[in-house]
Amino acid sequence: MKPTALITGSAKRIGNAIARHLAEQGWNIAIHYHSSVLSAARLKNDLSSKNPDGKFELISADLNDLNAVEEIVPTVIKEFGTLDLIVNNASIFNKKSLKETTIDFFDAQMQVNFKAPMLLTQVYSRLQEGGLIINLLDTRVTGNQSDYAAYSLSKKLLWEFTKMAAVEYAPAFRINGIAPGATLPPADKDKQYLEKLALNTPMEKPTGVDPILKSIDYVINNEFLTGQLLFCDGGENLV
Ligand SMILES: NC(=O)c1ccc[n+]([C@@H]2O[C@H](COP(=O)([O-])OP(=O)(O)OC[C@H]3O[C@@H](n4cnc5c(N)ncnc54)[C@H](OP(=O)(O)O)[C@@H]3O)[C@@H](O)[C@H]2O)c1
């Protein structure tokens, strides 16, 4: 039986690229999405036509709704018969300094970026005998820039959770993180913005999606790797 991956927020951008990459490698994919209905449907059609022997299903859930989050893993297991990998990719990335951050704004980022991956992990470990989780973090977990304060704090906490969960859920589950640097511009910015930002990093260019896909492969194939963080940031975490 083909292995199954659930990728949260996979209708577009990095999640979409991970879904396409894993499908090419023979994975069945549970395509989780929330508002990007058309992009998710398009991805399902593309994957089905390019990989006719694969299984690709849409899973819609608002990660702000904890009851809906709890249903995701049981739905995937019912539909596919197994769940071998969760990629916690969905995220919100909203700009506010600490001074500007209200509790409601903070909670919204924590809900999607931290609480949902934590709950998915808990449900997954209850329903499957073993598995693999990859948390998409951010090179910002090492720094203290506060322009995206709530986002950065949510990713720092997810990194701490990744290590703690790796210990508690071993040896049945492996849990690792991947920390991209500037990869794709936010919706209100263009490619030039990203290229300019990247000039301040050792490799002097944006991460691009390819290094993230290579890191996904590395985590999947290295059966002894757990509680680790792979930076895909051209050295940005060092400066
Ligand atoms: N882009 C970068 O340069 C960069 C840099 C460092 C780290 N990362 C990390 O890499 C991952 C992917 O980045 P990205 O830029 O591709 O992400 P993104 O486009 O900002 O978000 C990915 C998806 O998250 C989903 N999402 C947001 N709120 C949701 C909610 N309430 N319920 C369910 N889904 C929700 C959205 O799904 P719908 O569209 O279906 O609503 C969205 O398409 C993220 O974890 C991010 O933190 C990215």
- pLDDT at position 34 over 90: yes
Return the structure tokens found at 198: 């990247």
- Ligand 1 centroid – CA 136 distance (Å): 9
Q: What is the pTM of this model?
A: 0.98
CA triple 145-236-190, angle to 5 deg: 80
Q: Is the CB of 206 under 6 A from ligand 1?
A: no
- pLDDT at position 93 over 90: yes
- pLDDT at position 27 over 90: yes
User: Regarding the domain delimited by 4-234, which CATH topology (the fold level of the hierarchy) does it fall under?
Assistant: Rossmann fold (3.40.50)
Whole-angstrom distance, CA of residue 233 vs CA of residue 18: 17
Mean pLDDT of 14-23: 98
- Ligand 1 centroid – CA 33 distance (Å): 10
- Ligand 1 centroid – CA 61 distance (Å): 14
Return the structure tokens found at 128: 């499957």
Bridge partners, 132 (sequence order): 85, 174
Domain boundaries, the chain: 4-234
Q: Identify the pLDDT of residue 188.
A: 86
Return the residue matching tokens 């977990």.
141
Whole-angstrom distance, CA of residue 84 vs CA of residue 121: 12
Q: Which atom of ligand 1 is closest in space to residue 113's alpha carbon? A: 45
Q: Is the CB of 13 under 6 A from ligand 1?
A: yes
- pLDDT at position 48 over 90: yes
How do beta strands 229-232 and 56-60 pair?
A: unpaired
Ligand 1 pocket, mutate which of 20, 21, 35, 67 (most atoms under 8 A from CB): 35
Task: Give the percent of the chain with pLDDT over 90.
Answer: 95
Q: Which atom of ligand 1 is closest in space to residue 155's alpha carbon? A: 47
- pLDDT at position 1 over 90: no
Query: Which residue owns the Cα nearest ligand 1 atom 13?
Result: 14
Give 122-160 pLDDT, tens digit per residue. 999 999 999 999 999 999 999 999 999 999 999 999 999
- pLDDT at position 186 over 90: no
Mean pLDDT of 187-203: 91
How do beta strands 28-33 and 173-180 pair?
A: unpaired
Q: Identify the pLDDT of residue 130.
A: 98
Q: Identify the pLDDT of residue 187.
A: 83
Q: Is the CB of 211 under 6 A from ligand 1?
A: no
Residue 38: band (very low, low, confident or very high) from pLDDT cuts 50, 70, 90: very high
Give 66-88 pLDDT, tens digit per residue. 999 999 999 999 999 999 999 99
- Ligand 1 centroid – CA 198 distance (Å): 20
Q: Is the CB of 62 under 6 A from ligand 1?
A: yes
